[in-house]
A and B are shown apart, each in its own frame.
Chain A
Amino acid sequence: MDVVSLSQLQFAATCMFHWIFVPLTLGLSIMTAWMETKYVTTGDETWLRMTKFWGKLFLINFALGVVTGITMEFQFGLNWAEYSRYVGDIFGAPLAIEATVTFFLESVFIGVWIFGWNKVSKKVHALTIWLAAIGTNLSALFILLANAWMQKPVGYVIRNGRAEMTDFIAVVTNPYGWIKYSHTLMSGYALAAFLLMGVSAWHLLRKNEVDFFTRSFRMAAVWGFVASLIVGVTGDFHAVEIAKTQPSKFAAMESIWETKKNAEMCLLLVPDASKECNAVEALKIPGMLSFLAFHDTDAEIKGLKDFPREMRPPVTPTFLSFRIMVGIGTFMILASLLAIFLSRRANFVDNRLFLNLMVLAIPVPYLAQQVGWLVAELGRQPWIVYGVLKTSDAVSKSITSTQVLLSLLGFTVLYGLLGVVDIYLLAKYAKKGPDNDLGTIISVQGRV
């Protein structure tokens, strides 16, 4: 394989691995802050135990998100030097702001939160988790605004052999970025809610700490439903934005070959990219696709054949990823709605079928996160900056395929090991359940 393909593979591998941990960080940080706030305002110690138990899982997960994030910032320069040189004038700014404004906030205050239980007052302690959570949530904003610029470049001019910023406000108010941010952020909240529900269900099946886990489950069910619903709504906005700004991505997501007005939507569809058509098209809803894309059943949808072959994204993977994401999103809305109703019933803990389902559902939102990333990034190909710079022109010129192959192998082994350890630890501490012993200041005389 050449340097471009290997670098793409390495970027995908490291980014998708990073993204196993970040969505949970986004959601669980806010939920833990919420629990601690409840504790501080009500004085109810169950909230404190919840803060500590879910906070522990949050921290185990947080560690890998942080360390794999360093890779992301370095990788633009390491593997994508031409890209970095060409767009650094615009792309570098949100990244630098992300580091200065948000990484400091999350990293500094998470340290105080972990180690400061008996060093600062209750209120200040709750404030530290909020600051860390806000830092985390804002860092997603800056990186997604940077990514949005790659999807829909705005506020720039090509000058001095590169893209130079002309309008920073346009870059930070890029609607593409804000839609992407709300969609992604809420998907993180939804994922965290499903993890809370799944772990709680696991304990409820064993009648372990019934009050603690029923309360956790109920809280998560509401969070999960609201977040999943917003994910669906913003997903719709996002598709409209894509249809408008990235027609080749939209055509690949829906596997549309011919340009047509009043385009129908096929609930069952099997693309055949080699023959430039769909092998199966069934269960058609007339005009539905035009309506979804432009909110107008007569609107024209551009087909893939309007783009030269080399300017099309990989159709089948983009299409499949999109369908899987939408399918899981729908499942999550329904499952969390059901969870709200069932968890309020008196015999909830005896509903073994539903509790088992929620345990099995833990990995499902993770899959949606991964395929969602694939839709966004595969669908943009062959462009690295849509319509401005091609991926094949963006790679570093001073690196060899051997170097990248070795680093890719290194990442695979290292990340593989750390991933196994981290998920093992998460499972172990999740199964262990909350501590009964609340004392952060306990007597240890004679134990030294």
Chain B
Amino acid sequence: MDAAIFQVTWFVLWSVLWGVYFMLDGFVLGTGFLSGFIARTDTEKRILINAIGPVWDGNEVWLLTAGGATFAAFPTTYALMFSNLYSALILLLFALIVRGVSFEFRGKLDSAAWKSTWDKAIIVSSFLPALLFGVAFGNIFEGIPMRNDFTALQFSYEGSLIGLLNPYGLVTGLLFVLLFAVHGALYIAIKTVGELSGRANALANKVWPALLVVAVIFLGYTYPATRLYDNYLKLPVLLIVPLVAVVSLVLVKVYAGKGESGKAFTFSCLTVLFVVATGVTGLFPNLLPSNIDPASNLTIFNSSSSPLTLKLMTGVALVVVPIVIAYKIWVYRVFRAPVTSEDVLGNKQAY
């Protein structure tokens, strides 16, 4: 019983870490792959990069924390999730590496060819993680073909990279891409001024109907493709979670339609958080199900660390995470003003 409390606590923390990661990196990824469509001049491109410049690295750390938390709290899940999804995660890793250096490298040489190379790199390396994270979570929701024997400690995997690109995985991938597109466009809208801001808000409005269609397909398709609805059928009050997601999504359009990008962005943050929450609420207590053998599901009970490690990590998380959130809020306040062309042309340290 004692152990179960901490296992459930870590399931919640694990979900929160992923949710916050997608909320924060979602708009960075979106800004990145939209940069080629929204920005028209070099100065506008620089404005976009500088709008995410102060925060992208700190946002990406939520991914490292989510990964580290999986390792520390659910080592068997960390081991099998990462090794079974090897090729997909290697691609994701390459994209994240290229994205990170692109911001730093782009402005370091004054050559049009150099800049346009990194512009393309930013678009591709921002688009790929959005898609791959979606595909990966789609596959997590529906389960992957693995057989695990937790007493004999025998673990095997029968899937492949191509197998991950199944229809449900791709729908989830598309959902993430469109979600981050709207989220990123709204971020650009609030972090820039004038025509650029207007263009970004218009793009959010244009992409939104496609997002709605894919979200509806996703919610429908989830019923035959996964077991996510089981928890909701057992405990219908949980339906509040997807309901918040849907209402937020609608409010995104309401405010974006009125040109109130700030409010629309707030609701797109909520949408991302509650889309993740919708998935993990259905997933509980699984972390990574098997789609060929229910006994092989990796759960918070059969893949967790010892009670001592879970307690220790709970203590660390309860002390440190609030401090992190506090100074991150301070940083967002310091950089709350929109980025203008004067800013990027005047600051030599800027990207």
**A residues engaging B (CB < 8 A)?**
52, 56, 59-60, 63-64, 66-68, 70-71, 73-74, 76-79, 81-85, 87-93, 95-101, 103-104, 107-112, 114-120, 159-162, 164-166, 168, 396-399, 403, 406-407, 410, 414, 418, 421-422, 425, 428-429, 435, 437, 440-444, 447-448
- Contacting pair A100 B308 (CB below 8 A): no
List chain A residues, Cβ under 8 A from B312: 93, 165, 168
In the assembled complex, the Cα of A414 lies from the Cα of B328 at a distance in Å of: 32
Q: A99-B61, A119-B334 are in contact. Are A89 and B97 (CB under 8 A)?
A: no
Q: What would 24 A/B residue contacts be, using CB atoms closer than 8 Å?
A: A52-B349, A59-B104, A73-B68, A84-B75, A84-B79, A85-B79, A85-B80, A88-B72, A88-B79, A93-B72, A95-B72, A96-B316, A104-B324, A108-B57, A111-B55, A115-B335, A117-B347, A118-B347, A159-B306, A164-B306, A403-B87, A407-B87, A421-B105, A444-B346
Please name all residues of chain A whose beta carbon is closer than 8 Å to the beta carbon of B156 when the two chains form the complex: 397-398
Q: Does B320 belong to the interface (CB within 8 Å)?
A: yes
Q: Would B57 and A111 count as touching, CB distance under 8 A?
A: yes
Query: Which DSSP category, helix, strand, loop or mixed, fits chain A's interface?
Result: helix
Distance between A349 CB and nearest chain B CB, rounded to angstroms: 28
Given A100-B69, A165-B305, 9 further pairs, Cβ under 8 A: A70-B96, A77-B78, A81-B82, A85-B79, A114-B53, A114-B350, A168-B308, A398-B146, A421-B105
Closest to A119 in B: B334
- For A104, the chain B residues whose CB sits under 8 A away are 58, 61, 65, 324, 328
What is the distance, in angstroms, from B290's C-beta to the closest C-beta of chain A? 13
Q: Are A444 and B335 in contact (CB under 8 A)?
A: no
Contact assessment for A161 and B153 in the assembled complex, using a CB-CB cutoff below 8 Å: yes
**Chain B interface main SS type:** helix
- Of A93, A96, A414, A440, the contact of B94 (CB 8 Å cutoff): A414
Which one of A116, A161, A437, A448 lies within 8 Å of B43 (CB-CB)?
Answer: A448
Q: Do B71 and A410 touch (CB < 8 A)?
A: no
Does residue B155 face the partner (Cβ distance < 8 Å to A)?
A: yes
Q: List chain B residues, Cβ under 8 A from A162.
A: 75
Q: For the complex, is B193 an interface residue (Cβ under 8 Å from A)?
A: no
Nearest chain-B residue to A69 (Cβ)? B64
Closest to B342 in A: A444
The yes or no answer to B348 lying at the interface (CB within 8 A) is yes
Residue in contact with A81 in the complex, picked from B83, B331, B341, CB distance below 8 Å: B83
Asked whether A108 lies within 8 Å of B327 as measured between CB atoms, the reply is yes
**Cα distance A348–B86 in the bound complex, in angstroms:** 56
A62 to chain B: closest CB distance in Å? 8
- State whether A115 touches B83 (Cβ < 8 A): no
CB B56 to nearest CB in A, in angstroms, measures 8
